[in-house]
Amino acid sequence: MKLNSWGMYPKVDSMTHELSDDTKLKEYLESCDECISYGNGRSYGDSALSANIVHTKPHDFFLDFDDAKGLLHVQSGVLLSEILESYVPRGWFLMVTPGTKLITVGGSIASDVHGKNHHTEGCFSSCVLEFNMMLEDGSVKNVKSGTELFKATCGGMGLTGIILDAKIQLKKIHSQYIKQTTIKTKNLRETFRAFDKYKDEPYSVAWIDCLAKGDDIGKCLLMVGDFDTKGDLDYKPKSKLNIPFNFPSFALNNLSVKAFNWLYYAKAPNGESKQRVGIDSFFYPLDSIKNWNRIYGKGGFTQYQFILPLEVSYDGLQEILGLISASGKGSFLAVLKLYGKKNDNYLSFPIEGYSLALDFKIEKGLFELLDQLDEVVVRLGGRIYLTKDVRVSKDTFESGYEDIEKFRAYRKKQKMDTKFHSLQSKRVQI
């Protein structure tokens, strides 16, 4: 079967093992030379692709919920959206959620995902108390927060074993509404000032216009907010708009992206404005369009996400935004965010500084542009997010992750490095 991830590039022939029970998984691991776990296919590139995959999504039972503590025990294939459906009406929300709810709990751990509240709550691993995983030899290990295996597995891209189930902490909410402030800025300087001004707000993210030129570079809509204390919890996920087929490749040209960015930017009032919005539109705006990845055409797309250390973020972003703008290559969505302190996990992406994420249609000349951007990122001591990546070189990847040797050494010592491989892990030789 042809398999791909969210970026629809690459598409590879792959055999699937559906994860059901431990005994069958153990037998499978004994019989298979090489595999990687695959959840809901929402990582963008090739981090969950391999000739053989363990499909974890069917492993989707809720196991227990402690109402007093907000502690949820679920199998690894449960989607974040399923947790929200069940627990928002009872007044609980995910402590950490990325910009899509259509990912599995196992995938959230393996990518150590983060969201709009990284600067206050950190990565997904900070709400994980413990999990069970199957190692290469078929043994099941209980992994507690703080242990070395925990640090290697959170952000470890599935390369330490197959996560079976996890206990995660939910947070109490009193309303399904978020009090949001939108700040429209005119350039990067104003954008940085706005991030700084609102750094105490629990949630923040900016949509940035990547095609702006000259003095306009870095103009954005910064959205900050927090849960309202009043309102109801009557949360019902919205019905979805669907993109039923791949758009022809000319649909997303420079002009249409410009028009989209302009519409989005233009509809916001100048300066600051206040809104009260629901969970889905605040946290998961793109989830309401099913199969939105199809707008990039059947050739697929990639998301380039990097982060720069705080002290060089401003100059670095000026430079990179300048390069992107000059290239004229469109990005439907560009997201800028100020991150908080890094955690102890070996391969978690976030460090303190600004991160930018941009989508690019796969086309001729793109990888050359991204190589150019890589040079700036490497020079400034930044790093690339593996979960989004499909093309980064070993050298670029390594230069950003100072704990990579610890990770490699640990995998080797624990004999975890023969079975679990993805196309990505082979490329960057993790």
Interface with another protein includes 64 (CB under 8 A)?
Answer: yes
Q: Which segments of 214-296 does DSSP mark as H helices, in order? A: 254-267, 279-283
Which range, of 62-70, 104-112, 255-263, 366-374, touches another protein by CB under 8 A? 62-70
Q: How far is the CB of 25 from another protein (least distance, A)?
A: 16
Which range, of 59-67, 154-162, 225-233, 382-390, touches another protein by CB under 8 A? 59-67
Which range, of 36-44, 60-68, 178-186, 305-313, touches another protein by CB under 8 A? 60-68
Secondary structure string (H, E, C) spanning 151-179: HHHCCCCCCCCEEEEEEEEEEECCCCEEE
Interface with another protein includes 86 (CB under 8 A)?
Answer: yes
Interface with another protein includes 65 (CB under 8 A)?
Answer: yes
Binding residue for another protein, selected from 63, 251, 326, 409, defined by CB under 8 A: 63
User: Alpha-carbon Rg of the chain, whole angstroms?
Assistant: 21
| CB 109 within 8 Å of CB 56 | no
Q: How far is the CB of 317 from another protein (least distance, A)?
A: 41
| Contact set for another protein, span 89-108 (CB under 8 A) | 90
Binding residue for another protein, selected from 22, 82, 228, 319, defined by CB under 8 A: 82
Q: Which segments of 301-387 does DSSP mark as H helices, in order? A: 310-327, 366-379
Interface with another protein includes 69 (CB under 8 A)?
Answer: no
| Contact set for another protein, span 213-272 (CB under 8 A) | none
Q: How many residues bind another protein (CB under 8 A)?
A: 10
CA distance 229 to 179: 9
Neighbours of 303 (CB within 10 A): 22
Q: How far is the CB of 178 from another protein (least distance, A)?
A: 24
Which range, of 63-71, 96-104, 305-313, 325-333, touches another protein by CB under 8 A? 63-71
Sequence letter at residue 167: K
End-to-end Cα separation, the chain, in angstroms: 26
Binding residue for another protein, selected from 32, 62, 231, 381, defined by CB under 8 A: 62
| CB 71 within 8 Å of CB 170 | yes
Q: How far is the CB of 61 from another protein (least distance, A)?
A: 4
**Element (DSSP H or E) covering residue 357:** strand 353-361
User: Which C-beta is closer to another protein: that of 193 or that of 236?
Assistant: 236
Which range, of 58-66, 153-161, 166-174, 191-199, touches another protein by CB under 8 A? 58-66
Residue of 106, 2, 5, 12 whose CA lies nearest to 50: 12
Which range, of 78-86, 91-99, 266-274, 312-320, touches another protein by CB under 8 A? 78-86
User: Which C-beta is closer to another protein: that of 66 or that of 200?
Assistant: 66
Binding residue for another protein, selected from 22, 85, 319, 352, defined by CB under 8 A: 85
DSSP 90: T
CA distance 348 to 152: 9
Interface with another protein includes 22 (CB under 8 A)?
Answer: no
Neighbours of 192 (CB within 10 A): 18
Which range, of 56-64, 191-199, 218-226, 375-383, touches another protein by CB under 8 A? 56-64
CA distance 174 to 151: 33
Which range, of 61-69, 226-234, 326-334, 356-364, touches another protein by CB under 8 A? 61-69
Q: Which segments of 37-171 does DSSP mark as H helices, in order? A: 80-87, 105-110, 118-121, 148-153
User: Which C-beta is closer to another protein: that of 60 or that of 148?
Assistant: 60
Q: How far is the CB of 63 from another protein (least distance, A)?
A: 7
Q: How far is the CB of 88 from another protein (least distance, A)?
A: 12
Per the structure block, which two tokens stand in for 124? 């997904």
CA distance 273 to 359: 27
User: Which C-beta is closer to another protein: that of 60 or that of 226?
Assistant: 60
User: Which C-beta is closer to another protein: that of 239 or that of 270?
Assistant: 239
Please confirm whether the linkage preceding 10 is cis (ω < 30° from 0): yes
| CB 249 within 8 Å of CB 297 | yes
Beta pairing class for 2-3 and 12-13: antiparallel
Q: How far is the CB of 314 from another protein (least distance, A)?
A: 46
> DSSP 3-state assignment of 215?
helix
Positions touching another protein (CB under 8 A) are 60-65, 82, 85-86, 90
